[in-house]
C-alpha cells in the first residue's frame, strides 16, 4: 500500500517540481517575475522595480490595459537573441505615455524613444515605434522618468541582488544572468 501511495504522490508532485524550476516566482503567484534595476543618474543610482516580459505572450501584452504604472517601476522586455533596428513597439490599448530604452545584452542603453498612448479601437490606427538600433532588451517606464533622473543613451544599468532593492549593492547587468528571464 505504501508503494502505491508513493507512486501517486510522485506523479502528482513531479509537474509542480518541474514548473517551479522554470521560474523564480512563488508557487500559486500569478504576478510576473520582477527584478530591481539600478539606473545611473544625476544624483547617483536609482532603484527601479521591473517586471520581466520574457515570453512572446508577455512581450505582446506589455503594459496595455493598465491605468497606471507606479512611479519607479517599469517593464523589461527580454528577447532570446538580438532584435534588429526594424523591431517595432506599439501602444495599442495603452493608457500611459511611456519612454522606452532599447538596450544591448549588457544593459547599455542604445536609444531612448517616447511613445504616446493609443486607445483607438482599431489597432492599425496606432503608431509603431521602431527601435532604430540593434537591441536585446527594452525597458518601458513612465514618460519623463529617464529625463528627470538624467539617464541617457550610453549609460549602463546594473542589477541589485539584495532583497532591499536600494541599489547600495550593485552587480553588472547581464541578460544571461537575469533572474526570471529564461
The confidence band for 99, taking pLDDT boundaries of 50, 70 and 90, is very high
Looking at residue 164, what is its pLDDT?
86
pLDDT higher than 70, residue 21: no
Cell readout for 182 is: 529564461
Taking the C-alpha atoms of residue 93 and residue 8, their distance in angstroms, rounded to an integer, is 46
Domain residue ranges of the chain, discontinuous segments joined by +: 33-177
3-state helix, strand, coil in the chain (%, to 5): 20, 35, 45
pLDDT of residue 136: 98
CATH numeric code, 33-177: 2.60.120.1140
Residue 20 has pLDDT above 80, yes or no: no
Candidates 140, 146, 175; CA nearest to 159 is 175
- CA–CA dist 119, 18 (Å, integer): 40
The predicted structure's pLDDT at residue 32: 62
What average pLDDT does range 148-166 have in this prediction?
Answer: 94
The answer to whether 112 touches 153, Cβ cutoff 8 Å, is yes
Of all residues in the chain, what percent carry a pLDDT higher than 70?
A: 81
Count the alpha carbons within 13 Å of 100 in the hemisphere toward its beta carbon. 25
pLDDT-derived band at 146 (thresholds 50, 70, 90) equals: very high
pLDDT at residue 179 in the model: 79
Rounded mean pLDDT of the chain? 84
Give dist(CA 50, CA 175) in Å, integer: 14
Amino acid at each position: 500500500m505504501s508503494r502505491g501511495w508513493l507512486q501517486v504522490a510522485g506523479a502528482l508532485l513531479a509537474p509542480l517540481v518541474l514548473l517551479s524550476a522554470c521560474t523564480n516566482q512563488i508557487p500559486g503567484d500569478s504576478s510576473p517575475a520582477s527584478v530591481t534595476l539600478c539606473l545611473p543618474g544625476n544624483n547617483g543610482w536609482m532603484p527601479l522595480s521591473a517586471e520581466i516580459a520574457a515570453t512572446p505572450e508577455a512581450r505582446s501584452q506589455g503594459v496595455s490595459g493598465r491605468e497606471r504604472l507606479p512611479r519607479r517601476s517599469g517593464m523589461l522586455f527580454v528577447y532570446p537573441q538580438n532584435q534588429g533596428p526594424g523591431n517595432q513597439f506599439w501602444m495599442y490599448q495603452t493608457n500611459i505615455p511611456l519612454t522606452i530604452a532599447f538596450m544591448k545584452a549588457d544593459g547599455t542603453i542604445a536609444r531612448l524613444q517616447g511613445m504616446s498612448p493609443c486607445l483607438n479601437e482599431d489597432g492599425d490606427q496606432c503608431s509603431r515605434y521602431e527601435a532604430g538600433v540593434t537591441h536585446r532588451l527594452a525597458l518601458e517606464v513612465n514618460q519623463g522618468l529617464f529625463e528627470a533622473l538624467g539617464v541617457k543613451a550610453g549609460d549602463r544599468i546594473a542589477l541589485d541582488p539584495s532583497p532591499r532593492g536600494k541599489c547600495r549593492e550593485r552587480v553588472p547587468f547581464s541578460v544571461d544572468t537575469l533572474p526570471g528571464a529564461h
